[in-house]
Structure 1
C-alpha cells in the first residue's frame, strides 16, 4: 500500500514485519521492498510473496502486495487482498512521512482510488 506521496507503508508494531521501500529483510525483521524505487515490481512481488508464506496475515504485507498487483493491472487480486485486510482487526501502520494510519483506512483508500481509476478508463 502507498501513502499520499506514493511510498510503501510499514507496521507500527515493533515485533511485526515492516514493508518499506528498499531491498532486504533486516536484522530486526523489517522488510524492505526491493522493486519500489527501481520499478522492478516482479522482484518486489517475489519477495513479498515469500514473506507472506511466513507471515500470511500481516496487513502491511497484504497492502504492499495489493499495491504491486494494482500497479501491474491485476485489479481483482488487489481487491481480494484489500478485502482480506478489512476482514482482520485494524492495525496501526507507520507511513514513510512519519504519520500513522490504520490498515483499514489504507485499504479503504486504495479501494476508492481503484474504483476511481476503473471509472476513468
Structure 2
C-alpha cells in the first residue's frame, strides 16, 4: 500500500514537526502551513471520523498538536501510526519515506523540544 504524502518545510524553531498531507487533504496542509491550526484540526478531525487509521491524517493532526503545545497528544498519534503497518509515502523532491520514519522523526523532535525546554 502506498499513500501520497508531502512533507512541507516549516518555519525554523517554530515548527516541531513538518506537516504531511495527502493530495486530497491539501486544504488542511495549507491551513497548517499558514498557522490556522484550529481550522486544520477541525478538518482533520472530520476526515479521521471517516478514515480513522489514515497515516497522513494522523501525522497531520500530530503536527497540529505539536505546534499548539500538546506534546502528549502528538506523541499518542505518532505511536498510533507506529502501531500500524509501515506505508510508503511520496515526499517532495521525488523522495519516498515510510509512515514509520515520519512518525519517528516527529517523536524525536518532540523529545528534542522537551529536552531543550528544561
TM range (shorter): 0.7 to 0.9
Pick closer, same or farther for the CA change 1:83–1:2 going to 2, 3 Å. Answer: farther
Compute the RMSD of aligned alpha carbons. 2.0
Task: Name the TM-score, length of structure 2 as normaliser.
Answer: 0.79
Q: Which residue of 2 aligns with 1:98?
A: 94
**Structure showing the higher helix proportion among its residues:** 2
Q: Which runs of 4+ in 1 moved over 4 A?
A: none
Q: Tell me if the contact between 1:48 and 1:61 (Cα under 8 Å) persists in the aligned partners.
A: yes
* Higher RCO (Cα < 8 Å, 6 or more apart): 2
Inter-partner Cα distance in structure 2 for 1:117 and 1:97: 27
Task: Name the TM-score, length of structure 1 as normaliser.
Answer: 0.78
In the alignment, structure 1 segments of 5+ residues that lack a partner are 11-17, 21-29
Q: Tell me if the contact between 1:90 and 1:104 (Cα under 8 Å) persists in the aligned partners.
A: yes
In the alignment, structure 2 segments of 5+ residues that lack a partner are 11-17
Q: Tell me if the contact between 2:8 and 2:20 (Cα under 8 Å) persists in the aligned partners.
A: no
Count of residue pairs the alignment pairs up? 104
